[in-house]
Amino acid sequence: MRTRIHRPYRNANGLYLLQVHPSYFSQLCGVCSNYNGEPMDDLQGPRMERFQRPEQFLLSYIMPSSQCNIDEVRSRLSRGVPQLFLTKDST
């Protein structure tokens, strides 16, 4: 069994997919969740805070820089958050 995380890709429906090997169970963190099978804590921010809304959660991970226009990001998030799926790769 090989351990790997595949590069995220966009499927035919426009959804972003990430495949993670089961050996990473409960060992991840960040915008792709902690992969622990508990949906209640999927929206946990970088300072271990919990968010109710995906938009707030995603904004908590933005690092200020001259290349990131936070107002544009907020505007895009206000129009809806793309749905993300996490899948297991059993190969």
Q: Is residue 4 one of the residues assigned to a domain?
A: no
Secondary structure of 24-54 in the HEC alphabet? HCCCCCCCCCCCCCCHHHCCECCCCCECCCH
* Residue-range definition of the domain harbouring residue 51: 9-88
pLDDT at 72: 83
Query: Residue 14: is its pLDDT beyond 80?
Result: no
Q: Is residue 52 one of the residues assigned to a domain?
A: yes
**Rounded CA gap, 73 and 54, in Å?**
13
pLDDT in tens, 37-85: 898 888 999 998 998 888 888 888 888 788 888 888 888 777 776 544 3
**What's the token pair of residue 70?**
């936070």
Total domains in the fold of the chain? 1
pLDDT at 21: 82
Q: Which residue has the tokens 């595949």?
A: 6
pLDDT at 81: 63
- The SS3 of residue 17 is strand
Query: Residue 90: is its pLDDT beyond 70?
Result: no
pLDDT at 23: 85
**Rounded CA gap, 54 and 60, in Å?**
10
Q: Is residue 60 one of the residues assigned to a domain?
A: yes
Contact 84, 28 (CB under 8 A): no
Higher pLDDT, 14 or 49: 49
Sign of the C-alpha dihedral, residues 83, 6, 51, 57? negative
pLDDT at 84: 44
pTM equals: 0.62
